Amino acid sequence: MTLTLEDTLKWLHGFDATVTAQKAYLSELDTPIGDGDHGNNLARGAAAIEDALGKQEPADLTAALKTIAMALVSKVGGASGALYGTAFLEMAKASRETQEVADLLAAGLAGLQKRGGATTGEKTMIDVWAPVVAAAKAGNLTTQVIDDAVQATKPMKATKGRASYVGDNSIGHLDPGSVSSGYLFSEMLKAGVTA
Amino acid sequence: MSLGIIIVSHVDKIAAGVQTLISQVAADVSVTIAGGTDDGGVGTSVEKIQQAISDNKADEILAFYDLGSAKMNLELAQDFSDKPVHLYDVALVEGAYTAAALLQAGVDRTAVEAQLADLKIK
Ligand SMILES: Nc1ncnc2c1ncn2[C@@H]1O[C@H](COP(=O)(O)OP(=O)(O)OP(=O)(O)O)[C@@H](O)[C@H]1O
Ligand SMILES: [Mg+2]
């Protein structure tokens, strides 16, 4: 299906509410394998998105995605801001050519890979984005696909990001960025966007 | 083309400390810094990095940085910048010091990069 401006706004409002509610949990996940700020970072991003969207109703899908991207890039202040921000920036660019959900998410994933240099299996949000994009392309994205991808980061050893500094000690913990990416895609499905 | 240095760190005092250290051997090199988040916390800020790039008196920038998001946010700022910005995956203190000392001695970017190659860590 194609992504509309209306669905995008609904989707992001849902995501903003969820990360704000889960702020403490996301930061807690970031504590044993990171610096304990993921929830705080994203809650700041969520507030910035709400602020930016509230100030001026975006004219179209591209404008909305770009507004979201700039809010994340400028307000999050961590790896996840640069990463989510770049993903939304690439989706905004791609949305001039296509509004197909799977294609837009694929453009977002390509942006994440360009910015962070990670590939699958390195215990980062790529481990959720990649299977989600694959399922979306096949037309069978479900909450089960999302949840499985998030859980699969637990036994992985981190080789990118802050968690890579603790080496083997990263094994056995969920990756915080993967959990928040799981929220992003679950909220997308909840907003009625299917792929 | 004049060459300047920017220092990007998660902590404002680290950025300021490296600036103090390298300015001692490079009085004529423009060194600007971006340390911490906009609200003074630990992290990196694209806006601060953009500011450090534009405040730098040089028209071409050599960038040195610490962990994780420092590089990603630098690359974002690089995408938005008119000045050429070069990133080096080297030890922050040693890399910035090497570049500063060499720039003060008047060497060009190729020669600086040859010295930096030995300090690669990331
Ligand atoms: N290179 C990378 N590629 C993809 N995802 C990454 C990368 N580095 C980190 N991440 C993701 O970012 C999440 C951490 O985000 P967070 O907001 O806590 O930033 P941070 O790592 O604390 O930033 P900083 O580097 O400024 O300390 C990780 O859980 C991981 O999913
Ligand atoms: Mg963190």
Mean pLDDT across A120-141? 98
Does the domain made of B3-119 have the CATH classification 3.40.50.510?
Answer: yes
The 10s digit of each residue's pLDDT in A36-59 is: 999 999 999 999 999 999 998 999
State which fold the A5-190 domain adopts. Answer: 1.25.40
CB pair distance less than 8 Å for B76 and A73: yes
**Residue ranges per structural domain of chain A:** 5-190
Which among A41, A75, A82 has CB closest to B72?
Answer: A82
A97 forms bridges with which residues in the sheet? none
Is residue B5 scored above 80 in pLDDT?
yes
Q: Is A85 in the pocket of ligand 1 (CB under 6 A)?
A: no
Looking at residue B122, its pLDDT comes to 73
Residues B34/B40, Cβ–Cβ less than 8 Å: no
Q: Is A161 in the pocket of ligand 1 (CB under 6 A)?
A: yes
- Closest-approaching ligand to the CA atom of A80: 1
Please report residues of A whose CB lies closer than 8 A to that of B45.
74, 77
Mean pLDDT across A58-68? 98
Nearest CA among B16, B26, B67 for reference residue A163: B67
CB pair distance less than 8 Å for A79 and B72: yes
Looking at residue B117, its pLDDT comes to 95
Looking at residue B46, its pLDDT comes to 95
Mean pLDDT across A72-96? 95
Residues in CB range of A167: below 8 A, 6 or more apart? A157, A158
For residues A137 and A120, what is the distance between their CA atoms, to the nearest angstrom?
17
Q: Is A160 in the pocket of ligand 1 (CB under 6 A)?
A: yes
Band (A136; pLDDT cuts 50, 70, 90):
very high
Looking at residue B119, its pLDDT comes to 94
**Residue ranges per structural domain of chain B:** 3-119
Q: Count of CB contacts below 8 A, A vs B?
A: 45
- Closest-approaching ligand to the CA atom of A121: 1
Looking at residue B61, its pLDDT comes to 98
- Record the pTM: 0.95
Residues A26/A179, Cβ–Cβ less than 8 Å: yes
Backbone phi, psi, residue B9, to 5°: -135, 160
The 10s digit of each residue's pLDDT in B39-94 is: 899 999 999 999 999 999 999 999 999 998 999 999 999 999 999 999 999 999 99
Q: Is A45 in the pocket of ligand 1 (CB under 6 A)?
A: no
Q: List residues in chain B touching A: CB distance below 8 A.
A: 37-38, 41-47, 67-69, 72-73, 75-76
